[in-house]
Chain A
Amino acid sequence: MSLEIELDLPNLSRRQWLKGAGAITGLALTIGVSGLVRAAVEEPKKFGGDAMPGGLKDDALVFVSIGTDGIVSIVAHRSEMGQGVRTSLPMVVADELEADWSKVRVVQAEGNEARYGNQNTDGSRSIRHSFEPMRRVGATARHMLETAAAAQWGVPVNEVEARHHEVINKRTGKKLGYGELATAAGKLAVPARESLHLKTPAQFRYIGKQNTRNIDGRKIVTGATHYGIDTQLDGMLHAVIARPPVFGGKVKSFDASTALKVPGVVKVLELKGSNLPPLFHPLGGIAVLATNTWSATKGREALKITWDHGPNASYNSPAFRKTLEAAARKPAKAVRNNGNASAVLAKAKQKFEAEYYQPHIAHSSMEPPAATVRIINGKCEAWACVQAPQATLETVAAHLGFKPEDVKINVTLLGGGFGRKSKPDFVAEAALLSQAIKGKPVKVTWTREDDIHHDYFHTVSLERIECALDEKGLPTAWLHRTTAPTIASTFVAGAKGGAPFELGMSAVNMPFNIPNVRVETPEVAAHTRIGWFRSVSNIPHAFAVQSFAAELAHRAKRDHKDYLLDLLGPARKINPDDISDSWNYGESPERYPLDIGRMRNVIELACKKAGWGRNLPKGHGLGLSLCYSFVTYVATVVEVVVADNGEISIPRVDLAVDCGPQVNPDRIRSQVEGACIMGASLALSGEITFKNGVAEQSNFHQYEVLRINEAPRDIQVHIVEHGLDVPLGGIGEPATPTIAPALCNAIFAATGKRIRTLPIRDQLSKA
């Protein structure tokens, strides 16, 4: 049975494409630097999607094709990893196009940013950046269909109207289906962008509505989907790789003789590692190639390898916590300095300080990294579950020594990503192995142990906050030292100290109305690969800042909600530049100021819906938190129950979300529900520890993630309504960082026990 790649590709020969040039012009040739870093570092003048590599594209000829059978094919240029983007973006096109969703097919774009614009699916950016271009794509195609119909009837174009997959002659009531118009429309010139009439919100058929079914839903429940791990090519070998257990280590010697005797094992190959910085390079190691995954795994178990563990073999988490603490207790480089916090603190009568610890965490998407590559006649083709197809293409090309135009990256579905699959090291592994066996197809599958041991981990951090307080218990000075190995170390060898995009996630842009604010970033080295994880630096920063605010409220003997509103001060808009936030999630400071009014509003909404202040039975507690993350405002109230034995359950969570206007409301809710559960998972049990440079956890028995019986039982998502005059916010990430502080604040309310070290695990039973 040949299961050659079934990616919903339409039958091209049957289609009349709304076709034009769409030529592929020169590809950008930058290797392996994420959009996150590039956008932050290189192009400070442009904002939003325009600042991203590849920019934004709205060429209808690239994104839409219509068959004579009326089937509309729409390209999804972003990677689907559970956020619903393969539904939501084509849905935007379909709406403006007045297409019938049941006649829409979605075609997944290969990696090609010159053609599709930026495809890097992270940073909660897809809808935020592509909503307007996709509207224009749909409107362009609608205009072309209307023009074709008007010509056919010999009437002015304003006498016809596209409506639900037909163009109607408003005078005669005659109708022409999209399929009947496709050929003629495809021959027309593309109308100028300025001539387009976008729909008014009242005319939306799908945008902002609940009625659009997930394009992949049926395939998912019938097992007919194609993820990165599912690719099958004729003659393909299955590879499993033994990678250096310690980051920076390498193979000293190995003996493959036993491995080669395992039935099904075909070959054992050494894969060279790369020098620092890690970028998206393979880690190196010994690869076992077999006729099936199980044999490859058995073969790997039979390898005898002596490792040189390299410079990180003394990386131990308890000792590193001490390193972080020591660094956080010493003055360091200021990255925000409003007023004179140091002087006020030096003279303060009343002070309060606290330290919060967030360990490393692993992404552990349910689908581990997996990729298949073959090379035919000097052309490389890959199928992979990648968030960043263009970076994948560049990485693979560089490792093979190929020109980018000789590499094709087919993007499969992603069985979760959360930031891990932005890093295509696993695709480069498959490419190198295929190249080593004359281009034969190779699938590299990471086992769960590989995934947890060799993640690009969320960083470990120690957040220290110190305050001077007035007689009312409100801060007059705020000093925050955010101390963590930086993501920048993945791109620049030896990089230390927070990068602007890390600091701009709830550290420098801490929104409280305090006259003297100083934020410092002590320098500590990374000893493993550091990557971005859903909501990134907001996770430790919001944990610290929002816990600290609750601690201050308690000391002032105030209600946490009232105190938090006082901390924020009156509704106003803050220019991020004024608080040393040069990043602002890549968005314009004018269009996306820090809006204290919206913060206050989500707090009020979450508290109202949760019944803040209500009487609770013994052992119950309500906890509140707020986070501005990926230009979206989220306030969360967690209700916790702490049993006498310290066992924690979460009967209810209320999340108030202000993400600007809603494009696909059901997927907004599902992202917030999922972020809530992931946030609870991280808070309760998420921790990777290192011993002698090796991650101590290997699979879900040690790296525990939340299960249905432990998950918050009732998750209520309350979304603030907005029109299109308000700019769009992100939604995949923003709710995640609110959970740990809200939960810990709830635990304090229930028990009087303050948690400053995550995960919570059994800290309450010890107490």
Chain B
Amino acid sequence: MVSLNINGKDRQLDVPGEMPILWALRDIEHLTGTKFGCGMALCGACTIHLDGEPVRSCVTPVSAAAGKKITTVEQISADPVGKAVQKAWLDLGVAQCGYCQAGQVMSATALLKATPNPSDEEIDEAMSGNICRCGTYPRIRAAIKQAATGAEK
């Protein structure tokens, strides 16, 4: 048994400690908002927050989450920055297929929480781990900037 705190709820999971958080969320908890894209920390689709820090859940074992708080895209609107990011995403019509966007939203939210007004270089730095095969990058950049100004108000 592994004890996890997922989106504010304490959960007991009967899984081996080395199971990646991604599969515990998706297959055990049926929280499928967090996506699988590569399994090797190469694409960012599986990004979650562990105590507010963005991590790739496909390579992070559940044992590493013991005593920490897991936040997934399903809960990120509870965070004012997350909400601002989601709003900017909708306002600018960022998503195409949408599959990468949970990871993008989680990475962008983490970026803006640490760096409320990121430069282009800081956006590149924080977001280059998140692949979007549909090519929504220009709108992601614009939406991050919009969420940044939105969050200031």
Task: Identify the A interface with B (CB < 8 A).
Answer: 1, 3, 80-84, 213-214, 216-218, 220-227, 229-230, 232, 238, 263, 291-294, 297, 364-368, 413-418, 445, 447-448, 666-667, 670-671, 673-678, 681, 699-701, 705-709, 711-715
Write out the residue numbers on chain B whose beta carbons fall within 8 Å of the beta carbon of A708.
123-124, 127-128, 130, 132, 137, 140-141
Residue of A at shortest CB range from B129? A707
- Residue B116, interface by CB 8 Å: no
| Distance between Cα atoms of A444 and B55 in the complex (Å) | 26
Write out the residue numbers on chain B whose beta carbons fall within 8 Å of the beta carbon of A216.
95, 98
User: Can you list the 8 inter-chain pairs with the closest CB atoms, starting with the nearest?
Assistant: A223-B33, A415-B99, A677-B135, A82-B97, A82-B96, A220-B98, A223-B73, A674-B135
By the criterion CB–CB under 8 Å, are A670 and B96 in contact? yes
| Distance between Cα atoms of A681 and B124 in the complex (Å) | 17
Write out the residue numbers on chain B whose beta carbons fall within 8 Å of the beta carbon of A448.
37-40, 43
By the criterion CB–CB under 8 Å, are B45 and A366 in contact? yes
- Residue B146, interface by CB 8 Å: no
Known contacts A81-B97, A214-B93, A708-B123: does B136 contact A670 (CB below 8 Å)?
yes
13 extra A-B contacts, CB within 8 A, seeds A222-B33, A238-B27: A220-B95, A221-B101, A221-B102, A222-B76, A223-B31, A223-B72, A293-B23, A415-B98, A667-B93, A675-B135, A699-B42, A708-B137, A715-B138
By the criterion CB–CB under 8 Å, are B86 and A676 in contact? no
* Cross-chain pairs A/B with CB under 8 angstroms, 9 sampled: A220-B89, A222-B73, A223-B102, A368-B36, A416-B97, A670-B136, A673-B136, A674-B96, A678-B133
Residue of A at shortest CB range from B90? A217
| Distance between Cα atoms of A763 and B133 in the complex (Å) | 24
A705 contacts which of B20, B73, B101, B133 (Cβ < 8 Å)?
B133
Write out the residue numbers on chain B whose beta carbons fall within 8 Å of the beta carbon of A714.
138
By the criterion CB–CB under 8 Å, are A83 and B45 in contact? no
By the criterion CB–CB under 8 Å, are B86 and A292 in contact? no
Mark contacts of B1-38 with chain A using CB atoms, 8 A cut-off: 1 yes-contact digit, 0 otherwise: 00000000000000110011001001111111111111
Q: Which of B82-139 contact A (CB under 8 A)?
A: 85-86, 89-90, 93, 95-102, 105, 123-125, 127-139
By the criterion CB–CB under 8 Å, are A221 and B86 in contact? yes
Write out the residue numbers on chain B whose beta carbons fall within 8 Å of the beta carbon of A417.
97
- Residue B51, interface by CB 8 Å: no
Q: Tell me what chain A mostly uses at the interface: helix, strand, loop, or mixed.
A: loop
Write out the residue numbers on chain A whose beta carbons fall within 8 Å of the beta carbon of B123.
708
Write out the residue numbers on chain A whose beta carbons fall within 8 Å of the beta carbon of B60.
none
Write out the residue numbers on chain B whose beta carbons fall within 8 Å of the beta carbon of A367.
35, 37, 97, 99
By the criterion CB–CB under 8 Å, are B97 and A415 in contact? yes
Least Cβ distance of B54 to chain A in Å?
15
- Residue B74, interface by CB 8 Å: yes
Write out the residue numbers on chain A whose beta carbons fall within 8 Å of the beta carbon of B63.
none
By the criterion CB–CB under 8 Å, are B135 and A447 in contact? no
| Distance between Cα atoms of A714 and B125 in the complex (Å) | 18
Write out the residue numbers on chain B whose beta carbons fall within 8 Å of the beta carbon of A230.
26, 32
Least Cβ distance of A651 to chain B in Å?
12
Residue of A at shortest CB range from B38? A448
Write out the residue numbers on chain B whose beta carbons fall within 8 Å of the beta carbon of A293.
23, 26-27, 36
A294 contacts which of B20, B86, B98, B105 (Cβ < 8 Å)?
B20
Known contacts A221-B90, A224-B74, A700-B42: does B134 contact A707 (CB below 8 Å)?
no
B137 contacts which of A221, A366, A415, A677 (Cβ < 8 Å)?
A677
Least Cβ distance of A366 to chain B in Å?
4
Least Cβ distance of B19 to chain A in Å?
5
By the criterion CB–CB under 8 Å, are B86 and A416 in contact? no
Least Cβ distance of A191 to chain B in Å?
36
By the criterion CB–CB under 8 Å, are B43 and A366 in contact? yes
Residue of B at shortest CB range from A84? B96
By the criterion CB–CB under 8 Å, are A709 and B128 in contact? yes
Least Cβ distance of B53 to chain A in Å?
19
By the criterion CB–CB under 8 Å, are B30 and A3 in contact? yes
By the criterion CB–CB under 8 Å, are A711 and B137 in contact? yes
| Distance between Cα atoms of A681 and B133 in the complex (Å) | 9
Least Cβ distance of B26 to chain A in Å?
7
B98 contacts which of A225, A671, A706 (Cβ < 8 Å)?
A225
By the criterion CB–CB under 8 Å, are A214 and B97 in contact? no
By the criterion CB–CB under 8 Å, are B38 and A706 in contact? no
By the criterion CB–CB under 8 Å, are B99 and A3 in contact? no
Query: Chain B CB within 10 Å — which of A82, A294, A416 has the most?
Result: A294
A366 contacts which of B37, B76, B105 (Cβ < 8 Å)?
B37
| Distance between Cα atoms of A675 and B134 in the complex (Å) | 8
| Distance between Cα atoms of A238 and B22 in the complex (Å) | 15
Write out the residue numbers on chain A whose beta carbons fall within 8 Å of the beta carbon of B139.
670, 673
Write out the residue numbers on chain B whose beta carbons fall within 8 Å of the beta carbon of A213.
90, 93
| Distance between Cα atoms of A364 and B97 in the complex (Å) | 13
Residue of B at shortest CB range from A81? B97
Least Cβ distance of A453 to chain B in Å?
14
By the criterion CB–CB under 8 Å, are B93 and A1 in contact? no
A673 contacts which of B19, B76, B101, B135 (Cβ < 8 Å)?
B135
| Distance between Cα atoms of A705 and B134 in the complex (Å) | 11
| Distance between Cα atoms of A682 and B72 in the complex (Å) | 32
